[in-house]
């Protein structure tokens, strides 16, 4: 951060600290998730190793993992939203600080002008221009002086009015800075709360997975693939692909090109690239590469972007998943999408109908 920006922020802090800030209540954290019991006691004797857990137990674990990672995704959206707002408020505070500095310099300049006028009056014997004009015996000087008096009165009145307005502006800037500072602190707390939730859910999921044997993990992966394939098949069986024929726009194709080029890179919550991404970080950066700025989070992408029917979906459109809009992917065509799935899984291509679709939005509307 440069010296100028630090100075502006320091000015904002000085102004804001002069205003009494309201105390913000501490956020309540979600209750800890019960830790699952191990599926078996450890043993070193191969002959005593029990058989893999039955599919019904692994199916319950699959659903539990889906719930944990879904909760983490919801919290990630909350974290990203709070971070975006905090960045916005920081910039507004810096802008207000600059206005405060400029206003103070302007006010000081007007005070100097008022002081110069007072000193000039002192040098003329303490008599105002009007009194000196009355005492003049020269008609020409009298007429010239009358004009100067009128101009001087107008200038003085204008100076006083300008000083008053500038002072009022400074007071408003201080109030605005104080309000933005309180919002900034609230969003910082919201970020911290969301981060704890994310970390807690991911840790619980990773612990649950770590308690499985190698064979169980392999079978669990099969069950997860089967569940996704079943959902995709049901979606395709509706005949939806017969209706989806629209080709992508030039910007949509560029966004798809960017997104697919990231395949294989890791998922990381809160990340926007270039080395890792979360789901909305991938879609927002892909469209930024295509020259279109879109909201950072999947929920805001769903709320702000233009919605289109699934049958009108084209490459580059964003598919929003789950009732709470907690996941987003990019449609690439032929019933497929590219997305950043969840922690532990890289950016990949999957069936567009492999998860419950809430709707579709188009960034280049």
Catalytic residue among 279, 310, 319, 332: 279
344: alpha, beta or left, given left = phi > 0 and alpha = psi -120 to 50? left
Catalytic residue among 339, 341, 347, 360: 339
Q: Is 70 a catalytic residue?
A: no
Catalytic residue among 327, 328, 338, 352: 327
Q: Is 339 a catalytic residue?
A: yes
Around Cβ 207, how many Cβ atoms within 10 Å?
14
What is the Cα Rg of the chain in Å? 33
Q: Is 327 a catalytic residue?
A: yes
Which stretches does DSSP call E strand in the chain?
A: 306-308, 318-321, 327-333, 336-339, 348-351, 357-362
* Calpha distance 283→265 (Å, rounded): 14
Sequence-distant (≥ 6) Cβ neighbours of residue 124 within 8 angstroms? 132
* Calpha distance 260→105 (Å, rounded): 53
Which of these, 152, 6, 160, lies nearest to 90 by C-alpha position? 6
Residue 191 corresponds to which tokens in the numbers above? Answer: 């970020």
β-pairing verdict for 357-362 and 327-333: unpaired
Sequence-distant (≥ 6) Cβ neighbours of residue 128 within 8 angstroms? 121
Half-sphere exposure of 165 (CA within 13 A, CB side): 7
* Calpha distance 362→331 (Å, rounded): 10
* Calpha distance 7→2 (Å, rounded): 9
Give the single-character DSSP code of 40. S
Which residues belong to the active site? 279, 327, 339
């Amino acid at each position: 951060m440069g010296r100028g920006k630090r100075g502006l922020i320091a000015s904002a802090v000085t102004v804001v600290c002069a205003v009494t800030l309201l105390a913000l209540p501490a956020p309540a954290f979600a209750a800890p998730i019960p830790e699952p019991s191990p599926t078996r006691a450890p043993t070193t004797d191969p002959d005593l190793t029990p058989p893999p857990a039955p599919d019904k137990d692994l199916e319950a674990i699959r659903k539990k993992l889906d719930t944990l990672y879904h909760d983490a995704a919801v919290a990630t959206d909350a974290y990203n939203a709070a971070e975006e707002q905090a960045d916005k408020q920081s910039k507004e505070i810096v802008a207000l600080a600059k206005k405060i500095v400029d206003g103070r310099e302007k006010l000081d300049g007007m005070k100097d002008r008022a002081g110069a006028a007072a000193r000039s009056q002192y040098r003329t014997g303490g008599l105002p221009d009007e009194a000196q004009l009355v005492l003049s015996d020269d008609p020409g000087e009298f007429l010239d002086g009358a004009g100067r008096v009128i101009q001087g009165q107008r200038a003085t009145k204008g100076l006083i009015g300008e000083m008053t307005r500038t002072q009022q502006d400074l007071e408003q800037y201080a109030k605005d800075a104080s309000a933005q500072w309180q919002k900034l602190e609230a969003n910082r707390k919201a970020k911290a709360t969301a981060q704890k939730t994310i970390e807690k859910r991911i840790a619980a999921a990773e612990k649950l997975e770590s308690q499985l044997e190698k064979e169980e993990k392999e079978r669990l992966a099969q069950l997860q693939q089967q569940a996704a394939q079943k959902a995709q098949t049901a979606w395709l069986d509706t005949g939806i692909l017969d209706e989806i024929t629209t080709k992508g726009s030039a910007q949509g194709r560029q966004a798809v090109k960017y997104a697919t080029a990231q395949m294989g890179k890791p998922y990381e919550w809160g990340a926007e690239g270039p080395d890792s991404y979360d789901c909305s970080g991938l879609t927002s950066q892909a469209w930024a590469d295509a020259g279109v700025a879109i909201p950072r989070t999947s929920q805001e992408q769903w709320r702000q972007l233009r919605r289109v029917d699934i049958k009108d979906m084209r490459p580059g459109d964003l598919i929003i998943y789950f009732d709470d809009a907690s996941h987003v992917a990019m449609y690439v065509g032929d019933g497929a999408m590219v997305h950043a799935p969840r922690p532990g899984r890289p950016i990949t291509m999957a069936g567009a109908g492999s998860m419950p679709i809430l709707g579709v939005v188009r960034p280049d509307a």
